[in-house]
Amino acid sequence: MDFDGLTRRDALIGGAGLGLAACGEERFDPPPAREGPFKHGVAAGDPDQTSLVLWTAVTDPAEPVGYEIATDEAFSQIVYAGELGAAGPATNGATPMKAVVAGLEPGRTYFYRFRHAGDVSPAGRARTLPEGRVDEFRIAAFSCANYPAGFFNAYRDAAGRGDIDLVLHLGDYLYEYPMGGYATEDAERLSRVPDPKHEIVSYEDYARRHAQYCLDPDLQALKAAAAFAPVWDDHETANNAYRTGAENHQPDEGDWVERRDAALAAWRAWLPVRESDPMHARSPHLRIGELGTVLLLETRLTARSDEIDWTSFPVPADADPDDPEVRAAVRRWREDVIGDPDRTLLGEDQFARVAATLADSAARGEPWRIFANQVIMGRTDAPNYAEVTPFWLRWAMRMRGGQVWDYVLRSRFDVPITMDDWNGFPAERERLYAAARAAGADFITLTGDSHCHWCLDLHDEAGTRVGTEFGVTSVTSPSDYEMVAAPGVDFGAYIVERNPEVLHQNPYERGYLVLTLRREEAIAELISVSTIKARDFSSHVDTRWRVLPAGSGDVPQVERLD
């Protein structure tokens, strides 16, 4: 379906309505989930200055599905109307539908709804991106929403704020695992058994899983509250995905490229996103007027080098860490295997676009560049768990044996926490830092994947500061540290002590991040919800941080406010 072509056939209604003053940002109460033809909710996404992607799914559509866009919540000033086109085949009777609506005003809040056979959908709200001077812009960022692990209370909390301009989803919007797999132990008790129950591998499988997510009332509330701009990480296809495969893709599951493309086709059909060519590419950036640019990275499917796993570790896990030959072997492994300059996350074409966008942003005098990034960028080595943990915990981990104890033993050798993030691609990380430095373009990176709250002060290998990273904890997925029964042991404190770049790490809470951009500062709030195992919850700020743009004098460029 040519959504841009569809847009050109849409009808402008009441052109005078476009000249109205911008709406105030009053609280908008997203509608509750409901039955009927629009039971999968509504959404708008991938905004730019003059257009939005509208999305819904319609159960058993019997005639055309129309949309209306208004400048007020009561729809007394309808300024656009048109028809949606099918974005993909029907799944469980529901057909996903989209339209790209152009000709909108920059920085304007719009309300939208859909009509079909006498039924009217719930209303949604979305804002186009601003142009010119912008004094304040607020982003909410999320990652890692595993449906069977618990309720999406983080989505509900953000939806109720009423002050979000843009939602970034940093990946793992859904998970591919079967019932009985990762984080499904409470699924039956919470009535959140994944659909289908088996691991998803085909288009129909992925579409059914997307459709189930779209029935969630908290996700519906978030999508209806603000414009939605997602990037994928690995679980939208399969765990630890890379260009030619994935850790969780086996030969008996068919061809990897066919599975990848089926997953991406379902992702595009069931989300309010623009089409791209090739399918596994993503839009390069979002301009926030003169305030900044958001760069949407693709670090999984286009160019990522093959996975390095621990089978490549050059010495036995129980080798003597004080043996000079052992130390030399580990050092060569880090330099030659992990540090191979040909290893890439972005690929040459994307890297060139990112570097050019950084340079353009700095040349325009924008104070902020924001990476929507999937995996931790800063340098993070594992603490020596064989030394820092209390004796009783070391004993318990040794008794458990297997991969847990092997990892404890390997941590004695100054190894990365994981090689699936930018620590597995240090040469490309250094090239990215060099490009940012050459452009005079410091940056903030918002990062998913880790299921932890983070703040990192990023430096290149020479010790020059290049930016700030905020790790966005998961919506529901548990962190690895939660899976270790260790009451009173603060793994986050161990990581902070071991890594000079890490200013904060909390692996024990679920939630999201709110980043408020102003010309003179950026305020990051790492927000936690009290529970994901019940619908009644509260939220609180884990930590709050202030970032100053480059050239701010002697004031620290990132500082904790509370």
Domain ranges in the chain are 30-128
Q: Which residue has the tokens 């999320």?
A: 142
**pLDDT at residue 506 above 60?**
yes
Q: CB within 8 A of 105, min separation 6: which ones?
A: 18, 22, 50, 128
Helix (H, G, I), strand (E, B) or coil at 58: strand
Distance (Å, rounded) from C-alpha 451 to C-alpha 101? 35
Mean pLDDT on 350-357 = 96
Task: Answer whether 458's CB lies under 8 Å from 502's CB.
Answer: no
pLDDT band at 33 (very low <50, low <70, confident <90, very high): low
Please, are residues 30 and 112 in contact by the beta-carbon 8 Å criterion? Answer: no
CA distances from 334 to 256, 261, 546 (A): 29, 33, 34
| Mean pLDDT of the 121-136 span | 98
pLDDT of residue 14 exceeding 50, the answer is no
According to the model, what pLDDT value does residue 30 have? 65
Given a contact cutoff of 8 angstroms between Cβ atoms, the answer to whether 229 and 297 are in contact is no
Calculate the alpha carbon distances from 3 to 179, 257, 271, 411 in Å: 36, 25, 14, 51
Euclidean distance between CA atoms 283 and 160, whole angstroms:
28
Provide the whole-model pTM. Answer: 0.94
Residue with tokens 């996103």: 273
Q: Closest by alpha carbon to 241, among 171, 141, 181, 178?
A: 171
pLDDT in tens, 433-467: 999 999 999 999 999 999 999 999 999 999 999 99
Unique residue bearing structure tokens 């060139």: 352
Q: What is the pLDDT of residue 6?
A: 31
Instruction: Note the pLDDT of residue 15.
Output: 34
| Count of CB atoms situated within 10 Å of the CB of 108 | 20
| Residue among 414, 533, 420, 541 nearest 480 (CA) | 420
pLDDT at 536 over 60: yes
Helices (H), 324-475: 324-332, 348-363, 385-388, 391-400, 402-410, 426-439
14 neighbors 79 (Cβ within 8 angstroms): yes
Report the pLDDT averaged over residues 500-517.
98
Give burial (CB, 10 Å; 0-12/13-18/19+) of 193.
middle
Task: Say if residue 413's pLDDT is above 70.
Answer: yes
- Token pair of 541 as six digits: 């700020």
User: Tokens 């791209």 correspond to what residue?
Assistant: 276
3-state secondary structure of 338: helix
What is the third-level CATH fold of 30-128?
Answer: Immunoglobulin-like (2.60.40)
Torsion angle, alpha carbons of 433, 435, 438, 443, to 10: -60
% of the chain at pLDDT higher than 70: 93
Q: How confident is the model at residue 279 (pLDDT cuts 50, 70, 90)?
A: confident
What the block records as the tokens of 178 is: 């079967």
Q: Give Cα separations from 510 to 477, 478, 533 (angstroms).
A: 8, 8, 11
Rounded to whole angstroms, the Cα distance separating 465 from 441 reads 11
183 closest CA partner among 147, 234, 154: 147
63-103 pLDDT per residue, tens = 999 999 999 999 999 999 999 999 999 999 999 999 999 99
pLDDT band at residue 28, thresholds of 50, 70 and 90? low
d(CA 81, CA 104): 12
Of 164, 137, 142, the residue nearest 155 (C-alpha): 142
Residues, the chain: 562
Backbone angles phi, psi at 343, to 5 degrees: -70, 135
| Amino acid letter, 43 | A
Cα 555 to Cα 562: distance, rounded to the nearest angstrom: 17
Give the residue carrying structure tokens 């009332």. 217
Q: Residue type for 216, please? A: D
Q: What local confidence, expressed as pLDDT, does residue 198 receive?
A: 98
Say if CB 220 and CB 41 are below 8 A apart: yes
Q: Average of pLDDT values for 94-118?
A: 97
Q: Rounded CA gap, 351 and 330, in Å? A: 29
pLDDT the model gives residue 562: 85
Closest CA to 143 of 230, 203, 205, 222: 230
Rg (CA), the chain: 23
Q: What share of the chain is helix, strand, coil (3-state, %, to 5)?
A: 25, 25, 50
Is pLDDT at 5 greater than 70 in this prediction?
no
Distance CA 541, CA 11 (A): 45
Alpha helix segments (H runs only) across 177-316: 203-214, 217-225, 256-269
Query: 229 falls in which pLDDT band (50, 70, 90)?
Result: very high
466-484, pLDDT tens digit by residue?
999 999 999 999 999 888 8
pLDDT band at 485 (very low <50, low <70, confident <90, very high): confident
Checking if the pLDDT of 131 tops 90, the result is yes
Confidence of residue 26 (pLDDT cuts 50, 70, 90): low
Report strand pairing: 136-142 vs 510-518.
antiparallel
How much is the average pLDDT of 236-250? 98
Average pLDDT in the 307-331 region? 95
Report the alpha-carbon distance of residue 44 to residue 56 in Å, rounded: 9
Q: Which residues pair with 454 in a beta bridge?
A: 471, 505
Q: CA nearest 67: which of 6, 152, 22?
A: 6
Euclidean distance between the first and the last CA atom of the chain, given in angstroms as a whole number: 50
Rounded (10°) angle between helices 203-214 and 256-269: 30
The partner residues of 317 in beta bridges, in order of sequence, read none
Q: Is the pLDDT of residue 528 over 80?
A: yes
Q: Which two tokens stand for residue 87?
A: 């974005």
Structure confidence at residue 556 (pLDDT): 72
